[in-house]
Amino acid sequence: MAASLRSTVTVSGSNEFVLNKDKRAVGISSSHGSLSYTPPKSSDHKGRQGILLVERRSSKTHSNFSINAQASVCIPRSMRWWEKSIHSNMNQINSAQHLVDSLLNAGDKLVIIDFYSPGCGGCKALHPKICQIAEMNPNVQFLQVNYEEHKSMCYSLNVHVLPFFRFYRGVQGRLCSFSCTNATIKKFKDALAKHGGERCSLGPARGLEESELLSLAAKKELAIHFPLRSATGNTEDFVLLNKIEESENAALAV
């Protein structure tokens, strides 16, 4: 017996039986027999196995027999809410180094960091509006930071409330930071109207504050060699061994 389970089930070349994904088990019966499928207990069915039970009735002997078969389930996982309606100017941050590089490589472009948590109801409710704003402002770069995956980095950046946003641009570095919800979305729109216009500034992008870079480096989330702005305005590579050791010793003393 051959069985293939995707959004439908096919048994031995017979007709296709559509799976009802909203139920734990599906049953189909006819004059020739019956078929039932019980999905795995895990909420993520992708690549899991379920139980396929086929019962066939013989018209000659009027006897029944059952066959238990293991089959792979290929039902696609539902897209997570923070992955929906994403546009080309919205990027998911995967590490502290990725965040630093993204800010430094943005040039004069306005960059908005969106801190969210998958379990945050306010973040989920606000997400569609942020996506609409991103679509209407293709020249603005949106960086998404998953708080649950990057808690240590968020602590270093002093992000303790969600949803939370930070605006950055070029040599100015951080322009503003605030928390807002659907009810206070005007705060976000006002900040975008104030800082979203085209501008041209001389010099490299500033990115994160030096204290934030030091904190990330002390927690081993960032390489010791990273760019910082010097007093002359040039970007140089500093080896901050002493400062990092001081930060580490202070952290251990607490």
- Residues with a catalytic annotation lie at 120, 123
Backbone dihedral region for residue 187 (phi beyond 0: left; psi -120 to 50: alpha; all else: beta): alpha
What is the spatial distance between Cα 45 and Cα 43, in angstroms, rounded to a whole number? 6
What is the spatial distance between Cα 72 and Cα 74, in angstroms, rounded to a whole number? 6
Classify burial at 42, counting beta carbons within 10 Å of its beta carbon; exposed 0-12, middle 13-18, buried 19 or more.
Answer: exposed
Which residues, listed in sequence order, are joined to residue 33 by a DSSP beta bridge?
30, 56
What is the spatial distance between Cα 8 and Cα 73, in angstroms, rounded to a whole number? 10
What is the spatial distance between Cα 154 and Cα 158, in angstroms, rounded to a whole number? 6
